[in-house]
Amino acid sequence: DAPMRQYTSMRVGGPADSLFFPMDVKELKKVVQFARRREIPLLILGKGTNLIVKDKGIRGWVISLARGLKRMKTEGETVEAEAGLPLQRLVQFSIQKGWTGLEPFFGIPGTVGGGLAMNAGAWGAELKDILLSITLMKENGEVVERRRSNLKFSYRSLDLPPNWIILKGRFQLAQGKKEEVLDRVKSYSEMRKRTQPLDALSAGSVFKNPKEGPAGKWIEGVGLKGFRMGQAMVSDRHANFIINLGKAKAEEVIQLMELVERKVFQEKGVSLEREVRVVGE
């Protein structure tokens, strides 16, 4: 009966049957193999950003990698980071070293594993651009490494076989000038603060940007910026964010997403595809 609202950035959702925090790959493998033998459904969790859990919760087991799998090691300007490591810890480490490559990701919440799973990006950069390889656990617990050239990335997505788990990523950075790296980070950070509701409870960008242009502009164009449904609201700072005003239910958030999709399609003929995942029942 783990309350999922405590483990997601939107702070909504009912309980999961069980929640595990494996401390290393060995423990993770034990849990995965046991669950597969008993046919227990599994959901892998990072920091719970980009995720909306429905009000009745999740049947099956949730495995969070955010407490145990968060080690990092370097070799020259190559960094290996485990899936549970907060993406910001990796970004800050590279800034301290004066390494360049991760500046656009400053301020993106979530973990390294979550960032890789959705090919996180900002300001024209994507995580795949600096990736060398990913280490994965197959459904049966076997661990394999896949080079970047053998992985299928697309906009906000990584195509992996069902039930494979990202364990760690290897990234190639480059030596830069510390002052220049800091200047770029400051510039991205100021843009983010100016344009996004960083102080509100949200799951990040709700929709992928369609080929017709930024999702936020289409949502604003149909008059939904600032629109409320119960305790869920389309942000009045950036229309591609839905925020929890404090006591929102997942149902209110989902109904608001559906309204946005319907209205943008009916009035503008633009289909919005979700960036956030909705799970549970």
Active site residues: 156, 205, 275
CB 61 within 8 A of CB 17: yes
* Tokens matching residue 85: 């490591």
Q: What value does the CA radius of gyration of the chain take, rounded to a whole number of Å?
A: 19
Q: Which among 166, 17, 175, 2 is positioned nearest to 87, based on CA atoms?
A: 166
Q: Are 173 and 76 in contact (CB under 8 A)?
A: no
Neighbour tally for 149: CB within 10 Å = 7
Q: Which two tokens stand for residue 20?
A: 């595990």
List of residues 6+ apart from 37 with CB closer than 8 A: none
Query: Under DSSP, is residue 25 helix (H, G, I), strand (E, B) or coil?
Result: helix
How far is the C-alpha of 270 from the C-alpha of 11, rounded, in Å? 29
